[in-house]
Amino acid sequence: MKPEVHRTSSAPLLRAIALATVWALMTVIAILHQYRGGGPDGVPTVDALSPMTGLATLRKLVTDGEFIPGVYPSAIIILGAAVLSAIVLRRAFCGWICPLGAMQELFAVIGGRVGWHRSFEGSKLDAALRALKYVVLVIILALTYYTGELIFRPYDPWTSYAHVSAGWHRLSGEFLVGSILLVLVLLGSLVVERPYCRYLCPFGAFLGAISKRGMIRVVRNNHTCIHCHRCDSACPVDIPIEAMTQVTSAECLSCGRCVNACPIPSALNLEAYQSRLRPSVAGLIALAIFISVIALTMVSGGWKSLPAHIAEVAGAGGTFDPDNIQGFMSLAEIARAYGVSAVGLREYLGLAADTDLDSPINTIMPHLGRDVDEVKEATAALLVMGEVDSPNGTAISGNMTLAEIEASYELSAQTLLGELGLPADTDTDMPIREILEPLGREVKEVRQTVAVILKWQADTTHDTEQQRTIPVAASQ
C-alpha cells in the first residue's frame, strides 16, 4: 500500500467564496428589484439573469426575432457563458456559480453535522430518478416553445426564492408551487446532497448533455490508487469515482471535492490533454470564463437586462396587453403607454383625488391593502369602454403586414406608407418587421403612426359633426 500524503488545497475555500458571493449578489438584486422594479431605471428581473430563460427563449428569438416577455439579451449572454464553461470544464456552472446549488450545499453541511446525511451511491431508485430532470427539460422546452411564455416560471424554486422579499401574497399566490418545491429541496438537502441538481434541474440536464465531452475531467490512476473510497464519499452527487478511470458522467459538477479528498497526489487529478490542473485553478478558469463573457458584452454594448423605455414593457410580445403592466409603473406611465386617461384610471380605481399619478402602483395599491392586478383590470376595462385619450394601434405586432393593418384599422396602406416615409411600391404583404429592421427602424413607429392617423381621423369626424349640428340648431 502506498503511503498517504495528505493534500492541502485552497479550492474548497475558493469555491465556497465563489458560491456565497454569487448567492449574495443575486439575493441583493432580487430584493432591489422588488423595491425599484424592472423599468428603465430599475433592477433586472430574475428572468433577465437566468441561463434557463435564455435557453427557453431561443426558439422565439430565432424564428420571430423577439424575446419572450421579461427576457433580455443578458439571459442569452449568461447562457452562452455557461455553455462555454461546460465545454471546457463540464458542469462548472453548477459546481462553482449556481446560487441554488450554494443553498443546497449549505443545508447539506447542516445535515451532515447533525448526522442526517445519507449516501445513495448504487441505489437503483437514485439512478432512475436522475433521468427525471431530462424529462423535465424536454417538457419545459416543448411547452415554452409552443406557448411562447415562460411556462415553468411559477414552478421554479429559484424564481420563488427571488420573490421572497415581495411578500407572502406573492409566494402563496403565483409562486405557491415553486415555494413548496424550494422548501422541499432545502429540507431534502439535509439528507441527500443537491437533490434538485440530481433529479429535477432542467438546466443541469442541459449542461450535463453538453459536458460529457468536456475538455477538463477527473482522471484516476489505478496503479497508484489505494482504493480508500474517499473520493466516492466526497462526491456531492454520489458518482462511483473509484470504479472509473475517467469521470465522464453527466452528473459531475467539476467541484474538485473528490480530488481534494484523495490522499495520494498521483492517484486522482483534474486533467486536460494529459496536463494536470489543481482544482483551484480549474475553478478560477470557470469563473474567468463566466466573468469575461459578461464583462466583454458590457464593454461592447451588447449587454441589456432592462427595457429602454416603458412602452417596451407594456408592448411585450408585440401587443400592448394590460397584463404586461408591472408594479414599478406609475398611473401616468400606464396612461401614456396604453392611451387611457390617468385621471380616468384613478377615478375608476376609486383612488383619492390627491393620489400621486407619478408614484409606482406597487407603492400606491399595497398601502391601501389592494393589489396591483386591480390596475391591470381597470386599464383593460377603460380600453374596452373606449375611454382613451386617443385612438391607438397598440395591438399591432411585428408579424402583421401593412395589408392586415389596413383591414384591421380601416386605413389606407398607401397613406401609412407615406406617413412612414416608405416607398410607394413597398410590398404590403410583407411583415412590417421585415420592412423596417433592414432600415434600422422599429415596429413601434408603425404603432405610433397608426395612433396619430386614427386620432386625426377621429378629430376630423368630430369637427365635421359639429359643423353639421350648429346650422340645424341655429335654424330652430
Q: What is the DSSP string of 125-188?
A: HHHHHHTHHHHHHHHHHHHHHHHSS-TTGGG-HHHHHHTGGG-HHHHTTTTHHHHHHHHHHHHH
Q: Would you place residue 65 in the very low, low, confident or very high pLDDT band (cuts 50, 70, 90)? A: confident
pLDDT at site 239: 93
pLDDT, residue 473, reads 39
Q: Higher model confidence: residue 210 or residue 462?
A: 210
pLDDT at residue 408 tops 80: no
Task: Report how many domains make up the chain.
Answer: 3
Grid cell of 1 as nine digits: 500500500
Same domain membership, residue 456 and residue 370: no
Among 329, 358, 385, the domain boundary falls at 385
Q: Both 424 and 349 in a single domain?
A: no
Confidence of residue 124 (pLDDT cuts 50, 70, 90): confident
pLDDT tens digits for 146-182?
A: 988 899 999 999 999 999 988 887 888 889 999 999 9
Q: Per the domain annotation, does 240 fall within a domain?
A: no
Same domain, 287 and 377: no
Q: How high is the mean pLDDT of the chain?
A: 86
> Are residues 371 and 341 located together in one domain of the fold?
yes
pLDDT band at 27; cut points 50, 70, 90 = very high
Q: What is the arithmetic mean of pLDDT over 405-417?
A: 81
pLDDT in tens, 214-263: 889 999 999 999 999 999 999 999 999 999 999 989 999 999 999 999 99
179 and 157 co-located in one domain: yes
Q: Does the pLDDT of residue 468 top 60, yes or no?
A: no
- 120 belongs to a structural domain: yes
Mean pLDDT over 18-45 rounds to 92
Q: Among 236, 268, 300, give the residue marking a domain's end.
A: 300
Do the domain assignments include residue 224? no
Q: Model confidence over 173-229: pLDDT tens digits?
A: 889 999 999 999 999 999 999 999 999 999 999 999 998 778 899 999 999 999 999
Residue 233 inside a domain? The answer is no
Q: Is the pLDDT of residue 296 over 90?
A: yes
pLDDT, tens digit, for every residue of 339-359? 788 888 898 899 998 999 988
Instruction: Looking at the structure, tell me whether residues 49 and 101 fall in a common domain.
Output: yes
Confidence band of 455 (pLDDT split at 50, 70, 90) = low
Asked if residue 237 is part of any domain, the answer here is: no
Of 26, 122, 101, 79, which is closest to residue 255 (Cα–Cα)?
Answer: 101
| Same structural domain, 317 and 295 | no
Shared-domain flag, residues 124 and 51: yes
pLDDT confidence band for 386 (50 / 70 / 90)? low
| Parallel, antiparallel or unpaired: strands 217-220 and 275-277 | unpaired
CA angle (447 as vertex; 74, 379 as ends), nearest 5: 80
Q: What is the pLDDT of residue 348?
A: 87
In-domain check, residue 25: yes
Greatest mean pLDDT among 4-8, 115-119, 296-300: 296-300
Tell me, yes or no, whether 338 lies in a domain.
yes
Listed ranges 4-13, 61-70, 237-246, 305-314; the one with the highest mean pLDDT? 237-246
pLDDT at 293 over 60: yes
User: Residue 470 half-sphere exposure, CB side, CA atoms within 13 Å?
Assistant: 6
Q: Categorise residue 442: left if φ over 0, alpha if ψ from -120 to 50, beta otherwise.
A: beta
**Same-domain status, 415 and 288:** no
Does the residue 74 lie in any domain?
Answer: yes
All cell numbers assigned to 19: 458560491
Residue 467 above 60 pLDDT? no
CA–CA–CA angle 414, 317, 175 (5° rounding): 165
Highest mean pLDDT among 17-26, 230-239, 348-357, 431-440: 17-26
Residues 321 and 462 both lie in one domain: no
C-alpha span between 326 and 314 (Å, rounded): 8
Q: Domain range spanning residue 354? A: 310-385
pLDDT of residue 459: 59
Give 51 or 337, the one with higher predicted confidence: 51
Question: Are 429 and 454 members of one domain?
Answer: yes
323, 351, 385 - which closes a domain: 385
Region 362-366: mean pLDDT is: 84
Residue 8: its pLDDT value, please? 59
CB 282 within 8 Å of CB 89: yes
Please tell me whether residues 146 and 119 are part of one structural domain. Answer: yes
CA–CA dist 223, 221 (Å, integer): 5
